[in-house]
Amino acid sequence: MSETVSSPSTTPSTTPQAGKRSIRWPMILLWLGIFALLAILGWGLLNTNATRPEVGQNAPDFELEFFNGYEWEGLPIAGLDDMRGRPVVLNFWASWCVECRYEADLLEQTWQKYKDDGVVFLGVAYVDTEPKSLDYMEEFGVTYPHAPDLGTRVSQDYEITGVPETFFIDKNGVIRHVQIGPMNQQLMDEIIPQLLEN
Amino acid sequence: MLRRNKIARGLLLALLLTLLPIIVHAQDEVTDDEVNEIAKDIYCPVCESTPLDVCPTLACDDWRELIRTQLSEGATREEIFDYFARQYGDGVLANPPRRGVSLIVLWVLPALGLILGLLLFAWLLRGLRRNPPAATAATPASAPSATPVPTGNQSLDDYIARVEREIGE
């Protein structure tokens, strides 16, 4: 009995310190990990809830690699920054889109009408196959620059709701009008002169 | 007899020459099953959560046609997936490649969550072992080498000491 009472096997003053020392790093790692996890989740949520660019806001920049046979001022690849100082009509379309066919001729005619005033028309083929896109462009005889939306990056940045959809961007890169659905002549003749005036 | 043989050989040759392009074409033709085998791992670009092999939209028709064309040109399954990812983004693939956001969302986050969960579990377990609940703390059986705390009751202390000794033996 005296053995059990008089021979304490551990010193109480050393045990908690050793415990604290061993537990500190896992705790730090744990909290760092939790913060990292929350940061990544927050970043994901922010990206998911990225708001659609509205009228009055700066148009997201983009870079387009045009289809073979198309170019913008001699460039096979061009971005919105290159077009600064000129109004831009950015039209999203697809060969499988029936409504896009209603506006294809109108867009070409309007481009022909305003091209000498410096208006830039751009066609972006949304989730379309290249052979079908080329057939479509040949069918409607479109001459302004067209490009595929590689990786759907442009349509994601502009958060389009479908096709056709057209963004009217002024000389300063600000969105002035968004048309969801096919365009009509009256609307084009109202908006484009306003873009040229601004 | 000799002449008849010559005619027969000529006819056979003509028949072979006629059938050869058909046979070659039949071998090159890509079946719907072959197309769908790849299409089932690609998702429709315009309707959510619908695999390409069962999607009825025009856009999906075009994509299946593109797969057929690429297969007939000798493209492998991986080459076709790479092409679709490059053209339309990783999001159209049922099994996105391990890069960029897909890598973070599908691989890094779950792994990080698992590691954190294990760390948390280990930490809680450790805490429990260091500070056992009152009922178990009073029982010296879990720690035979620890010094028993005198209870003040002589007979109980003797009993605990005896149990300690016997466990020690």
Q: What value does the mean pLDDT take over residues B31-51? A: 93
Beta carbons of A1 and B161 less than 8 Å apart = yes
Averaged pLDDT for residues B120-147? 66
In whole angstroms, give the CA distance from residue A75 to residue A167. Answer: 22
Say whether residue B45 is in contact with chain A using an 8 A CB cutoff: yes
pLDDT digits (tens, 9 = 90+) for A152-164: 999 999 999 999 9
Determine contact: B37 vs chain A, CB below 8 A: no
Span of A4-13, B78-87, B153-162 with lowest mean pLDDT: A4-13
Tell me the per-residue pLDDT of A90-109, one tens digit each, with 9 for 90 and over. Answer: 999 999 999 999 999 999 99
State residue B112's pLDDT score. Answer: 82
3-state secondary structure at position A98: helix
CB proximity list for B66: less than 8 A, separation 6 or greater: A129, A131
pLDDT value of position A5: 44
pLDDT at A1 over 60: no
pLDDT level of residue A14 (50, 70, 90 thresholds): very low
* ipTM, interface predicted TM-score of the complex: 0.74
Please check whether residues B73 and B7 belong to one and the same domain.
yes
Dist CA B44 CA B93 (whole Å): 9
Hey, is B97 helix, strand or coil? coil
Which range of B7-11, B38-42, B147-151 scores highest in mean pLDDT? It is B38-42
Domain contains B50: yes
Backbone φ, ψ for residue A67 (5° rounding): -60, 155
Contacts of A174 (CB under 8 A, 6+ apart): A56, A57, A58, A59
CA angle A100/A164/B94 to nearest 5° reads 105
Residues B89 and B156 in one domain: no
Please report, rounded to a whole number, the percentage of residues in chain A having pLDDT higher than 70: 86
Q: Which of A37, A132, A151 sits opposite B86 (nearest CB)?
A: A151
Q: Share the mean pLDDT of chain B.
A: 81
The pLDDT tens digits of the residues spanning B51-79 come to: 999 999 999 999 999 999 999 999 999 99
* Cβ <8 Å between B116 and A37: yes
Compute the distance between CA of residue B51 and CA of residue B38 in angstroms, rounded to an integer: 10
Model's pTM, two decimal places? 0.69
Residue of chain B nearest A47, judged by CA positions: B101
In a domain? residue B146:
yes
- Which residues of A fall below an 8 Å CB-CB distance to B? 1, 4-5, 7-10, 19, 23, 26-27, 29-30, 33-34, 36-37, 40-41, 44, 47, 94-96, 127-129, 131-132, 148, 150-153, 156, 162
Q: Which residues of A141-165 are buried (b: 16+ CB within 10 A; e: fewer)?
A: ebebbbbbbbbbebbebbebeebbb
Give a yes or no: residue B131 inside a domain: no
A-chain residues within 8 Å CB-CB of B169?
none
pLDDT in tens, A58-86: 999 999 999 999 999 999 999 999 999 99
pLDDT in tens, A105-121: 999 999 999 999 999 99
Question: Which residue of chain B has the CA closest to A65?
Answer: B87
The pLDDT mean for chain A works out to 88
Q: For B104, which of A40, A127, A150 is closest by C-beta distance?
A: A40
Q: Which residue of A has its CA nearest to B129?
A: A19
Which chain B residues are closer than 8 Å to A29 by Cβ?
Answer: 119
Q: Strand (E) positions, chain B?
A: none
Residues of chain B with C-beta less than 8 angstroms from the C-beta of A34: 116
Range of the domain at B68: 2-100
Hey, are the CB atoms on A148 and B45 less than 8 Å from each other? Answer: no
Residue B91 lies in a domain: yes
**Which residue's structure tokens are 């009408």?**
A113
Total number of domains in chain B: 2
Single-letter code of the amino acid located at A8: P
Q: How many CA atoms lie within 13 A of B123 on its CB side?
A: 17
Q: How confident is the model at residue A43 (pLDDT cuts 50, 70, 90)?
A: confident
Q: Which of B42, B72, B100 is the last residue of a domain?
A: B100
